[in-house]
Amino acid sequence: MKEKEMSDSSHAAKSPRRTWRTSLLGASFLVLAFVVGPAAQGQETAAFFKQNCYSCHTIGGGRLVGPDLKDVAERKERDWLVRFMLNPQAMIDRGDPYAKQILDESRGVVMTQVAGLTRDRANLLLDLIEAESALEKSQFEGVKFSDRPFTAQDVETGEHIFKGLTPLTNGGPACISCHTVRGLGLLGGGRLGVDLTKVSERVGGRKPLSAWLVSPATTTMQPVFKLHPMEPEEILTLVAFFEDCAKRVGDDNSVAPLTFFLIGLVGMVLVLGLFDSLWKDRFRAVRGPLVSGGEMRTDA
Ligand code: HEC
Ligand code: HEC
């Protein structure tokens, strides 16, 4: 009973006290922004690079899907680089000769338009790339992967992960819910994503594909696999599976549409289930306290 009264009175006093606290908080953020602002911004930019660029670019570790960005500022002026980063396809469509050159060097793979990239952020990223280029060893030199030869066991494990027969350790959805590969007998896969039969060739081989899978840089996969990243060993077996697929299929283009469709449907249900559980977590984190606060009021 006593506790209820207390919670009641704190209720009445809440609004003025809250404004107080809010302004105090605001003031301290302002101070904080001046003191640690630049450092925090640098950290935020590095985190952004890691999440959105590192799957395709190293700084000083050689080419992945895209070129090594070490000393990129010496290859092209900043204004051009910013414009390219904001809309790579437009720059290529315009017939820009340098864009065409780097496109050719990347086997025709066009850089994705990165979500959340603004002119300011592009400039901060180029500052970061310049600073990292000056270091002897950048923190973005590239993720190290085992380069042991693939075994038949790797290929089989990768196939099982792809099909969802072996679940991913950290709870990521099976690839087959959104992707197809040819030459899998009856199993085909979903139609939402792309056909991955020749993905290894397309992106330039084992190293670029492995790096790409560490933080998949597409709007569909990124939010899911950011929360459920794949383990290095799982990535290795998937890459082994894709390389084997490309070899096995050769030029065969046959597909089995109905099976793909049905399996895709089942897959989508599973993916929706995953999103649903993500939303539940969000409910708990944000709406939960509000709702239980409301309940407290009714029984007081
Ligand atoms: C899906 C892979 C991919 C992602 C993700 C990606 N890029 Fe790229 N990037 C490329 C490719 C490929 C090229 C080469 C041009 C082309 O083919 O479109 C390129 C070119 C560039 C260039 C010009 C390089 C040069 O040699 O002149 C810069 C700068 C660049 N990217 C920065 C970034 C930054 C910063 C991010 C993250 C915000 C990013 N890229 C994300 C693939 C990617
Ligand atoms: C929720 C659906 C979904 C799931 C699950 C999914 N992907 Fe994807 N993936 C996509 C979409 C959509 C694209 C194409 C993005 C684009 O066109 O930019 C894609 C693209 C890719 C690419 C790049 C293809 C290319 O040619 O650039 C690779 C590689 C890939 N996925 C691998 C996987 C693997 C491996 C798994 C399982 C561990 C997986 N994906 C699970 C939706 C998904």
Domain assignment of residue 70, given as a range? 43-134
Q: CA 36, CA 193: separation in Å to the nearest integer?
A: 42
Give the pLDDT score at 295: 45
Which ligand sits nearest to residue 66's alpha carbon? 1
Give the pLDDT score at 12: 43
Give the pLDDT score at 4: 44
For atom 6 of ligand 2, which residue has the closest CA? 175
Q: Is 203 in the pocket of ligand 1 (CB under 6 A)?
A: no
Per the domain annotation, does 298 fall within a domain?
Answer: no
Whole-angstrom distance between the N-terminal and C-terminal Cα of the chain? 9
Give the pLDDT score at 235: 97
> Domain boundary at 102, 134, 166, which?
134
Low-confidence ranges of the chain (pLDDT < 70): 1-38, 184-193, 251-267, 269, 275-300
> Domain boundary at 69, 104, 134, which?
134
Buried/exposed code over 218-237 (b: 16+ C-beta within 10 A; e: otherwise): eeebbebbeeebbeeebbbb
Whether 59 and 141 have beta carbons less than 8 Å apart is answered as yes
pLDDT, tens digit, for every residue of 243-280?
999 988 776 555 545 555 655 666 676 777 776 666 66
Atom of ligand 2 nearest to the CA of 242: 35
Specify burial of residue 174 (Cβ count, 10 A radius: 0-12, 13-18, 19+): buried
215: CA distance to ligand 1 center in Å? 15
Per the domain annotation, does 166 fall within a domain?
Answer: yes
Task: Say yes or no: 118 and 206 in one domain.
Answer: no
Q: Is 202 in the pocket of ligand 2 (CB under 6 A)?
A: yes
- Joined together, the tokens standing for residue 225 give 């696999």
Task: Say yes or no: 199 and 91 in one domain.
Answer: no
**The amino acid at 113:** Q
Give the pLDDT score at 164: 95
Q: CA 178, CA 266: separation in Å to the nearest integer?
A: 10
For atom 9 of ligand 2, which residue has the closest CA? 193
pLDDT, tens digit, for every residue of 81-102?
999 999 999 999 999 999 999 9
Give the pLDDT score at 172: 95
Task: Say yes or no: 117 and 233 in one domain.
Answer: no
Give the pLDDT score at 207: 94
Per the domain annotation, does 168 fall within a domain?
Answer: yes
Residue found by looking up tokens 């979903």 in the block:
190
Q: Is 126 in the pocket of ligand 1 (CB under 6 A)?
A: no
Q: Is 194 in the pocket of ligand 2 (CB under 6 A)?
A: yes
**pTM of the full structure:** 0.75
* Domains held by the chain: number: 2
Task: Say yes or no: 157 and 272 in one domain.
Answer: yes
Atom of ligand 2 nearest to the CA of 112: 18
Whether 91 and 99 have beta carbons less than 8 Å apart is answered as yes
Task: Say yes or no: 97 and 160 in one domain.
Answer: no
38: CA distance to ligand 2 center in Å? 35
